[in-house]
Every structure is written in C-alpha cells, then in structure tokens.
Structure 1
Amino acid sequence: MKNISLKTTLFFLFIALSFFACRNEEKKGKDLTGTDTLTYKTEHIQVLSSYIPKPQDGITDITKATISYPVFQNKALNDYLLKQVFSFFSQEEPPTSYQDVANSFVKGYDEFATENKDYTHSWYLDINIKPISQFKDYIALAYTHSDYTGGAHGSHNIIYINFDPVQNKPLTLDNLIENGSSIKLTALGEQIFRKDEKLSATEPLTEKYFFENGKFILPLNFYIGKNGLVFLYNAYEIKPYVDGTTELVIPFDQLKGILKPQYLTAKN
C-alpha cells in the first residue's frame, strides 16, 4: 500500500508541476476591465561569458546578458517590439534577433577583456519586456533596459510602448488625445508635477530640474494605466541620476475633453 500511495502522490505531483509550467509558458494579458485579451508566451534568453575577470574584493562575477520578452500571435507587434530593442544598439552592425543581441553583448565584453588583461569588472545586460495594460484596440508594454559596460554606474531605462493590435500600428500621444488639446494637457501635467514635487505655482524650474530654459514639458514616455495617463521621466531626463525616475499620473477625471473617448472609457 505504501508503494502505491507513493506512486500516486508522485503522479499527481507531476501533473501539478506540468500544469504550473504551462501557465508560466503561456499567459493571457488582462485589460483594465479584467477581460482576457491578447494571448502570449514569455521567452527567456541568457548568455554567459566564458571570460572570468580577476577577483575584485574577493568576489568574482561573470558577464551575462539576460533577455525576457513576450511572443504574441500578432507578428506585427512582435516585429515592432524587436525593433525597439534594436534601437538601443549600434546601427553599423544591427542585431537580427534577441539571441543576436545577447550574443553580441557578451562577445563585445570578451573582446574588450581579452585586450585588457588587468580589467577586473564584469558587464551585464538585462532586458525585460512585459505587457502592463491592454483593452480592445490598445496594448501598452514596459520595456526595461539595464546595462553596465564600465564607468561609475550602469544605465537603467524604462520605455513604454503603445500599440494598436487591431490596426497594427504604434500609438503616439497625439493618437490618444483630441486635436488641439496638447497645450491643455501640458498645463495640467505641470500643475500635478508641481504638486507632487511640492513646488508653488510660480517657483522656477531652473534650480532643481533639467527642463530646457526652465519650461515644463511632458516626457514622450507614457501609457494608459488603471488610474489615468501615466508619464515617466527616466534618470538624467529632468533630475540627476541619483534621483532615479519620476512618475506623473494624470487621473481620468481630469482628462475629459483631452483623452479621446475610446481611451477615456478604459477607466471602467
């Protein structure tokens, strides 16, 4: 009886693990109303360097490139995501695939380290792309890109990708807002920015921020979230690196007459 019980237990454990693995492999995005939309699976790539640098402070780290990205049944969307990743790399020898991106990064380190035998640092590349919001004819993805190739510190950027999977085209901010409403949107954004940063309505923006000529502008980085229109300034964009990213959210109830109706109703 013990042997039968053990086999039965192992069988059901195998079924459970297989089910869990499938759930990790293939996912369905959730829109803002909780309805299933685009189905995708997540692919993972990791390439390790064969070159081991001299230990630093007793610690040895290996250079690696790690990439995690969704694969949709929509080829146009897949191609557009890949194009966004390629834009981060040299256009003289453009990569042709995610695998090529990882291989090229590690190869670049290996060549550099081989020529500089006393170099003690390792490099890293970490790319993660994942859906963060979607409904009917809209999907937004967060593309997080972190890397280190020497220097005082690495770089870290979050890029929001907006796409219409029905018409298969990228979406700009002008596509989402009513004609002639950009000035009103910017003014609204500045009000919220000043409130978040605890600034008065007249306090100049030249002291603490990098706005050109002290004039407030919204970043090109945005997406429609569950609470409204989300904007993100990456490090160095308006503040020093040490201050990191700055998020600005304009609530839906303040976007009436600005955000087009089909996107404004996403709040429901």
Structure 2
Amino acid sequence: MRAEVAVHTPASLGEGPTWDPVTGRLIWVDIVGSRVHTYEPATGRRTVMATEQHVGAAKPRAAGGLVVNLRDGIGRYDADGAYSWLLRDPVPGRRGNDAAVAPDGSLWAGTMRYDEAAGGGALTRVAPDGTAQTIFPSVAVSNGLGWSPDGTLAYYIDSPTRRIDVCRMEDQLPLDRRPLTVIEPGAGFPDGLTVDADGCVWVALWDGGRLRRYTPRGELDRTLPLPVSRPTACCFGGPGLRDLYVTTARTGLPRPHPLAGSVLVVPDAGQGLPGVAFAG
C-alpha cells in the first residue's frame, strides 16, 4: 500500500476526516483555519465553508447539514446553511477537538485547552436534543474515537498518555477503560483513529509520520509510512469504503513537507464500516 494525494492544500491543522455516504463526499476540517472542507472523489468537486470559531470536527446530520464541534460548544448547520447552537458551553482557553458519532446517533465531542494542560479537556456525550453527559472528565487532548463493528467496544485516545484505550459498552456508556496498547517513545503520539470491518484500529501517529493498524487484541499487524510527519486522523471512504483517507497538519513545523496539510489517500487499503449520522 502507498499513500497518494487526494487534495493538495496547505491546511494548518487538517483533522477529522468523515465519509458521508449520502452525498458521496469526504468532510474534514482545518481546526485553526476555522474551515470545513468537502471533497467528492467521483467528480473532484471541492467546497470550503468558514466557521466563526475554531472547529474541531464536522459530522453529517441525519436531517441534512452538519453538526460541528466549535470553540464554545456544539453547533448545527441545516441543509440550507442556517446555523444554530445545540449546546453552548464556553470556557476561556478551551476549544473543541475531535468528535465522532456513536452507533446510537449521539455525538461524542472532545475538548482541550489551547495550552494542552493536563485535565483541561473532557469527552462529552451530546444527545440529539443537546443534553450533555460527561464521559471522561479531566483529559488533556481528547482525540481518536471509534466503536467495534458490533458496538460492544469503544476506543479512545487522550494523546499525551500515548495510549489507545478500549472500553466495554453498556447502556450506551463505556465501562472498564483500559489500555489496548501504548505507543512507544519516539514513535509519535496517537491522534485520530478509525475502526475497520475486521475490528482492527487504524491510528495516525502525530510526529510519527505513519499509520498503524492494531488488532482487537492490541497487536500491531501493519505499519504504513507517510510522506508527512504529522498525520492527524483517518477514515475509510470511496466506493465500497475501501479507500483510506488521511488528514495532515503543517502547524508548528519550521520547514513543513510540501504535502503537509494535504489530504492523502491509500487506495484499496481495507474495508471500512458504514458511518452513522448525528440524529439531532
């Protein structure tokens, strides 16, 4: 397998790729650029939408439009572009980061402090009506989220811990959180993740310049080198959910690679899982 360029763009902090099967397009964000991007591989069509705040994630809604994890909370864009707040919870020095839609249609949204201070962020479950429930309090950099194919396990990353954690799901909540694996020093920090149809976890390694695939037992079974040092997240998309898309960043790099900030794709990398749209 080899990575190719899907979208050549100098995003500062590209993040959160999500495949929307309804529109046949990839959605991702440039967090500090306050932009939501889309890309249709079949036509090459691209769109860019500015947000009024830093945007950590953007996910499709079942009713059309997008739900976004912003600096001050969770917002919704209708299909016609109209905007409204679903949950507004501003905290000075804090912003939204990675997010994912759970099998039940709720949004699990992470936060972090701009200075990445320990305990400054959290992971929150946001119901379709905007009701919020804290899942994990006192995290540093809330990042990767995903669920096993049968929905019985949840995976989670708080990047500075270097761990990919796994939890047993019960009544839509995670229990018995434990490390699935720990990324060794010098290999980078775990960032965003996706789970494939085999139940394996793909993780992007920030400052590691690669993706790794771990089995449900936590065994490393595949490594995919990338041309950039700061991959941020990955997801499966395209025809049959066979292509693996990877967002990347150039922020903080004194001499970024020419492809840093672009979206990469690994054709026919495996088999992804169908996504779930936010029910709100």
TM-score, with length taken from structure 1: 0.29
Tell me which structure has the larger Cα radius of gyration: 1
Greater helix content:
1
TM-score, with length taken from structure 2: 0.28
Higher relative contact order (CA 8 A, sep 6+): 2
